[in-house]
Structure 1
């Protein structure tokens, strides 16, 4: 199975014609049909979460931070990644702690949330390497949490050819798998062959749009075959009651936490 076989759209799954939500619509009132779509499919697209002025400001801030810290990025050929940028850059901090993002995330999750971490994800121009299908949650040293989800914010237009994401709807209910190899397109499907036959929904984003996806929802990102870097900022939210499992992770390794300790305090703020 190749990435060229991925369906580019599906009007039946996800909010393909959803109304915009942003500064001109009440931040408190996420339409019920978007909440229902998220809870059924494990992901949802929300248009216009950032208004154009915010997009320009946050994109400029992210680009400046990336230019100064590109050598520190991790991820290799799949993508460049800079983690916990909110702790180091005041402009990106405003984006990570943006109250509009947090209100939407908490409405979708249905539980109080904390920031797990943010990360800047960059696919460089003419990168033919996709990020293969995987779930996020198996990578995280969490226990006791009821819900975790990611807000994937497009800071540039991200059509399919620039590396937008493709989701496996309904897979948020699949738990207990080991972490998957982001470079191996067969790895998730070897773990559960039934997933191979699910519909695949590719979700292009305009700058300022955002997808929210459950931490167990299977997803991948297409290659970036354009002349422009794909610049996205991802805010990961976890249940405010989440505790540390004791497993290694770059975010928690320096903190000296004991297994079972709550992931709270200034490192993991309430948004």
Structure 2
């Protein structure tokens, strides 16, 4: 890859995305997720994937063989806030193009960073159990979402993310951490409530966005290479830190360091990535 190609890839990160339908915000509010094509070019993915992968390898702390891990451990290797460790990863995580999509889907004037997270599902890696992300987030509203950006083509055999359409409006199951228990209970809920379980392959450059309370899961990786994904969690720039409702939320406050309950998490590690604070 030439220096010119790398520079072009970097510049795309701050060019507005033109692929949103006029109904995208309403569709996202109704369904709780959206799968978008061509969010980034294959060239941009190729420019950033090697760095992200090398940082995951360097920072990963999970060294048990797959057979010795629990269900969650078999789902993927995960490393959080890679942007703090590598300036090139920071370019991708801080992309105004990606943050702009998030703001438009949420219908807010601005979004700030909660944290990033790399999720690498190894070959023969297991399922990702049904769960809702916002169980872990001590935030005052549901105006928050995650982008799920695969770093390779992701056919069905590699376990792309799947969503229960409309489940973000259903309150049962919001007290369940990701586990065998959440897999069993939410799988039953999805069937009983007749939520459509939507799964599609991802072309290189595709990405999905899902709300914090949307139930989602993924199949195992039956491929021969890791399913490499970088995620970024965005929140309404005016959201506030909420009183934790479980121990996981108490621990997750570490991603908003130095904040107090009721404060906007306006910290150096939670910058506004698109738009500005309301006056």
Given the two structures, how large is their TM-score scaled by the length of structure 2? 0.80
**Structure-to-structure mapping, 1:76-87, within 5 angstroms:** 76-87=73-84
Alignment length, in residue pairs?
Answer: 246
Cα deviation, 1:149-205, whole Å, max 9, x if unaligned, reads 111101111111101011100112124721333333213256x57655322110221
Over aligned residues, Cα RMSD in angstroms?
A: 2.5
The structure 2 residue matched to 1:270, chosen from 269, 272, 277, is 272
Seen in structure 2, the aligned counterparts of structure 1 residues 104 and 194 have a Cα distance that, compared at 3 Å, is same
Q: Which runs of 5+ in 2 are unaligned?
A: 1-11, 65-71, 245-249, 274-279
Cα deviation, 1:204-236, whole Å, max 9, x if unaligned, reads 211211001111111101110110100000010
Given the two structures, how large is their TM-score scaled by the length of structure 1? 0.82
Q: Please state how far the C-alpha of 1:29 moved relative to its aligned partner.
A: 6.3
Q: Please state how far the C-alpha of 1:254 moved relative to its aligned partner.
A: 8.2
Which residue is equivalent to 2:86? 89
SS at match of 1:107: helix
SS at match of 1:62: helix
Q: Please state how far the C-alpha of 1:258 moved relative to its aligned partner.
A: 2.6
The structure 2 residue matched to 1:48, chosen from 38, 43, 67, is 38
**Structure-to-structure mapping, 1:8-157, within 5 angstroms:** 27=17, 30-71=20-61, 76-111=73-108, 112-127=110-125, 129-143=126-140, 145-157=141-153
Seen in structure 2, the aligned counterparts of structure 1 residues 245 and 251 have a Cα distance that, compared at 3 Å, is closer
Q: Is the 8 A contact 2:115 2:255 kept in 1?
A: no
CA distance in 1, matches of 2:26, 2:203: 22
CA distance in 1, matches of 2:63, 2:257: 21
Q: Please state how far the C-alpha of 1:261 moved relative to its aligned partner.
A: 2.4
SS at match of 2:114: strand
Seen in structure 2, the aligned counterparts of structure 1 residues 93 and 72 have a Cα distance that, compared at 3 Å, is farther
CA distance in 2, matches of 1:30, 1:136: 24
Seen in structure 2, the aligned counterparts of structure 1 residues 90 and 72 have a Cα distance that, compared at 3 Å, is farther
Cα deviation, 1:1-23, whole Å, max 9, x if unaligned, reads xxxxxxxxxxxxxxxxxxxxx88
Which residue is equivalent to 2:208? 211
Q: Is the 8 A contact 2:142 2:213 kept in 1?
A: no
CA distance in 2, matches of 1:77, 1:224: 10
Which residue is equivalent to 2:67? none
The structure 2 residue matched to 1:249, chosen from 239, 245, 251, is 251
Cα deviation, 1:231-260, whole Å, max 9, x if unaligned, reads 000010111122222421245278343322
The structure 2 residue matched to 1:172, chosen from 168, 189, 199, is 168
Which residue is equivalent to 2:247? none
CA distance in 2, matches of 1:249, 1:142: 13
CA distance in 1, matches of 2:123, 2:19: 37
Which residue is equivalent to 1:17? none
Q: Is the 8 A contact 1:141 1:249 kept in 2?
A: no
Q: Which runs of 5+ in 1 are unaligned?
A: 1-21
More helix by share: 2
